[in-house]
Chains A and B, each alone.
Chain A
């Protein structure tokens, strides 16, 4: 995929796999798997926190990496709670309803899984429900289930995130 920005045009892109956020000014942008190539333009990159869906190591890292596992005693509770499928790194996520869109729904309902009384109703605009634009902040460390009619998805707010908004790839939840 190639995007022509022309002279002076700007583009801000976020890559899911690499958690790279790129600000590109001018030129021709070739979208890659985890980074862009730019001709006749300027590119600035920053790495941001995001849920890349898995850690990808380059060859030089694979031989040096390992995992140390600590196990904690099993929980006594057997209540079946949905496991989060994504993590966001701001307290104001942006929920993308995907190509199916919102249907007839006008809002997404969020409920905190481990503390049920907390619920939020987030208005849908187009195919997104943006908590930041509606001044809604969730709690760090909270696990939330988002409902759209009978569809739902569960996500976690990172334990150490600061209140507020941030780059979209840091706060995106996809249905």
Chain B
């Protein structure tokens, strides 16, 4: 089951510490967002 998140509005600073977890690895983040630029995201 997927989980949608709104991260398109993050500033670069906030995005740098956006840890991403998956439902099966909920206790520990699996990835980190280094940078995001998604102005057209409609999530």
Contact = CB atoms under 8 A, between A and B. Distances in A.
Interface of A: 1-17, 21, 30-34, 36, 94, 96, 125-128, 167-169, 172
Interface residues of B, number: 32
Interface of B: 2-5, 7-8, 13-14, 16-17, 20-25, 28-43
Give the top 7 A-B pairs by smallest Cβ distance, nearest first.
Answer: A9-B38, A6-B40, A12-B34, A12-B35, A4-B43, A2-B2, A6-B41
A16 B30 contact: yes
Given A3-B43, A31-B22, A127-B17, 5 more contacts: A4-B4, A6-B41, A12-B34, A126-B14, A168-B16
Contacts of A126: 13-14, 17
Contacts of A34: 30
Contacts of B16: 94, 128, 168
Contact of A4 (B29, B35, B37, B42): B42
Contacts of B39: 6, 9
A133 B3 CA distance: 33
A34 B22 CA distance: 10
Contacts of B24: 33
A169 B18 CA distance: 12
A14 B40 contact: no
